[in-house]
C-alpha cells in the first residue's frame, strides 16, 4: 500500500514536471514569434533613398541609409513593430551629437516622402534646406508632429498645412524669411496642442489675431 502511494506521487510529480515543460516551451515559442524582427517595406525603403539623393550630407550622418538593408534600423527612422511601416523620420540636427558634427543637412525635401503614408513624426529642425516649405507636406495626413524650425525657409507658408487634421505639434519658428498671406488654415488643425511661430513675420497676414483666437 505504501509502495502504491509513493509510486502514485512519483507519477504525479512526473506529470506535473512534463506539464511545466510544455507550458514553458509554449511561452518561449510565443515570445520568439512576438519578438521576430519586422523588416521595413521595400517601397518605403526606396522612397527614403530617393529622399536621401536630394540631400547634401557633408558629415555623412546618413551613412547607415546605404549599408543597412533594413531601413527600420537607419539613423533617424522608427517603424511600427507590427507592420514595418515607417512612422518616424527624425533628422533633427543636434549640435552636441558627434555623428552629425553640427553640419546641417541641405538640399531638396523630395516628394518621395509621400510614400510614407503612415508617417506621424517629421522633425527636420536645425538644418538648412532653404527655399519654400514644400506644399506636399500638407498631404502627409497621418502627421502628429511636424518640426521645420531653424531651416532658413523663405516665401509663403503653404496653406496646405491646414490639411493636417491629426497634427498636435507644429513648430515653424526661426524661419524669419517666410511670409503668410493669411492664417485661416490654422483653424483646420483641430488636434493642435502646441504651436511655435517665434521670429516669424506675421505683418502681411490678414486678420491673424482672429485666426489665433480660433485655436483656443
Domain range summary for the chain, segments of one domain joined by +: 39-129
Determine the pLDDT at residue 67: 78
Q: Give the confidence band of 68 by pLDDT, cuts at 50, 70, 90.
A: confident
Cell of 54: 536630394
What is the CATH code for 39-129? 3.80.10.10
Q: What is the largest CA-CA distance in the chain?
A: 101
123 SS3 class: strand
Residue 35, CA distances (Å) to 32, 40, 50, 82, 132 in order = 5, 15, 30, 10, 42
pLDDT the model gives residue 8? 52
Q: Is residue 54 scored above 50 in pLDDT?
A: yes
Amino acid at each position: 500500500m505504501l509502495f502504491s502511494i509513493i509510486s502514485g506521487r512519483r507519477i504525479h510529480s512526473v506529470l506535473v514536471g512534463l506539464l511545466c515543460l510544455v507550458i514553458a516551451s509554449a511561452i518561449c515559442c510565443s515570445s520568439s514569434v512576438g519578438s521576430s524582427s519586422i523588416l521595413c517595406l521595400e517601397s518605403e525603403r526606396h522612397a527614403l533613398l530617393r529622399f536621401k539623393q536630394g540631400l547634401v550630407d557633408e558629415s555623412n550622418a546618413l551613412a547607415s541609409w546605404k549599408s543597412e538593408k533594413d531601413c527600420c534600423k537607419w539613423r533617424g527612422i522608427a517603424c511600427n513593430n507590427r507592420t514595418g511601416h515607417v512612422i518616424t523620420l527624425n533628422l533633427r540636427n543636434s549640435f552636441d551629437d558627434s555623428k552629425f558634427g553640427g553640419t546641417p543637412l541641405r538640399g531638396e525635401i523630395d516628394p518621395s516622402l509621400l510614400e510614407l503614408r503612415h508617417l506621424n513624426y517629421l522633425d527636420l529642425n536645425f538644418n538648412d534646406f532653404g527655399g519654400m516649405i514644400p506644399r506636399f507636406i500638407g498631404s502627409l495626413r497621418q502627421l502628429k508632429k511636424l518640426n521645420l524650425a531653424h531651416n532658413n525657409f523663405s516665401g509663403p507658408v503653404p496653406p496646405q498645412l491646414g490639411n493636417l487634421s491629426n497634427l498636435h505639434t507644429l513648430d515653424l519658428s526661426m524661419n524669419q524669411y517666410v511670409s503668410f498671406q493669411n492664417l485661416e488654415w490654422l483653424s483646420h488643425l483641430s488636434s493642435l496642442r502646441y504651436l511655435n511661430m517665434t521670429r516669424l513675420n506675421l505683418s502681411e497676414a490678414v486678420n491673424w489675431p482672429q485666426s489665433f483666437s480660433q485655436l483656443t
